[in-house]
Amino acid sequence: MSEVANDARLCVRQLIGLKENLPDTLRLDILGLGHTAVQPLVEILRDEKLALKKAPGGGYAPIHAAQLLGELRAEEAIEPMLHVLADTDPLNILHDQVIRSMLKIGPTVMEPALRVAVNAAPDLQDSLASILARIGLRDERILGMLLGQLRRNPDWAGNLAHYGDPCAVPRLLDALDQYEIVEDENPFSNHALVELREAIEELGGSLTAEQQQKCRHGMRQAEVFRRTLAALAEAKRHDSQMAEPIHRHGQLGQNDPCWCGSGKKYKKCHLDADKRS
């Protein structure tokens, strides 16, 4: 190993033991190494032991390595990143970071990702579809993959919106028409309707009156939930205001809004009362 490569490896190995925050100084030092940092970063990325919570730093070293490989636009890291995607749960932080880093690398991920997608498990296919939808390339294979994802689960309609081809609108409309509304009190049960409607509109399509009614019907529990949250937030804000100390004249100017929330100026509301109390 050359002296330059050894120095790069020693620098990159400082990631081991770091927790969530990556110091700017170390980040800039590693990025300054350029290409020589790629291989040692890949070594950390692929080290399954370093990804464990019991590892030094609580498993953050591979996450930092993935982030830096993305910032370096390291095309050599595409294949290792695909392996990590296949080996990690979609809810894993590392999995999510690898997706973001592959998006930074850009269009060169298309061919390797499409090759892996052919025999991939559904979860991995969904992750790859999310990447391919956002790399800015139009390709019939990508479109076919996204339409297949829509057939499996209309919750993924947003990927077609990101892909940006209006030819998907008729398929999205069909998916909306075929969607069977879940009649329960769970506010998230019919979230696919939101995804479908927004994707259709973003791609320049429009809903019929019947389809709009279907969306309103399917999302009524979500609307109730939204209103409940808004009411709770307003009540919390009001309670917070009422809990403020009465003697505020030393903190408020005469022309400031009154502490009671009336909307009046302090001098026109509680100033005199505070002075007397």
pLDDT in tens, 33-81: 999 999 999 999 999 999 999 999 999 999 999 999 999 999 999 999 9
Residue 140 corresponds to which tokens in the numbers above?
Answer: 């019939």
User: Residue 46 belongs to what H/E stretch?
Assistant: helix 38-46
Q: Both 99 and 119 in a single domain?
A: yes
Q: What is the dihedral sign for C-alpha 29, 32, 33, 34?
A: positive
Residue 2 has pLDDT above 80, yes or no: no
Q: How many CB atoms lie within 10 A of CB 132?
A: 26
Q: Are residues 63 and 186 in the same domain?
A: no
The H or E element that residue 179 is part of is: none
Residue 149 resides in a domain: no
Find residue 257's DSSP bridge partners. Answer: 265
> What is the extent of the structural domain holding 64?
1-137
Asked whether residue 104 falls in the same domain as residue 12, the answer is: yes
- What residue has token string 């025999």? 119
pLDDT range class, residue 248, cuts 50, 70, 90: very low
Question: Do both 189 and 84 map to the same domain?
Answer: no
Q: Is the pLDDT at 255 greater than 70, yes or no? A: no
DSSP letter, residue 195: H
The answer to which of 124-138, 170-184, 216-230 has the lowest mean pLDDT is 216-230
Outline where 60-154 has alpha helix (H).
61-71, 78-87, 93-105, 110-117, 122-132, 140-152
Domain annotation covers residue 143: no
Residue 230 resides in a domain? yes
pLDDT value of position 236? 80
In the structure, what pLDDT confidence band is assigned to residue 246 with cuts at 50, 70 and 90? very low
Same domain, 9 and 131: yes
Grade residue 223 by pLDDT with cuts at 50, 70 and 90. confident
Residues 65 and 20 in one domain: yes
Read off the DSSP letter of residue 55. S
Is 154 within a domain?
Answer: no
CA 50 to chain centre: 24
Which residue reads 């939930």 in tokens?
225
Q: Could you tell me if residue 158 is inside a domain? A: no
CA–CA dist 73, 48 (Å, integer): 23
Q: Are 205 and 87 in a shared domain?
A: no
pTM value is 0.78
Q: Is residue 233 part of a domain?
A: yes
Residues 215 and 261 in one domain: no
Radius of gyration, alpha carbons of the chain:
27
Together in a domain, 128 and 198: no
b/e for 1-27, b at 16 or more Cβ within 10 A?
A: eeeeeeebbebbeebbebeeebeeebe
- Does 62 lie in the same domain as 1? yes
- Asked if 145 and 117 count as a contact pair (C-beta separation under 8 A), the reply is yes
* Helices (runs of H) and strands (runs of E) counted in the chain: 15, 0
- 3 and 86 housed in the same domain: yes
Whether residue 214 sits in one domain with residue 118: no
Task: Give one word for 120, left, alpha or beta, with left for phi > 0 and alpha for psi -120 to 50.
Answer: beta
Residue 206 in any domain: the answer is yes
Query: In total, how many domains does the chain have?
Result: 3
CA 43, 44, 45, 47 dihedral sign is positive
Residue 71 domain flag? yes
**247: confidence class by pLDDT, cuts 50, 70, 90:** very low
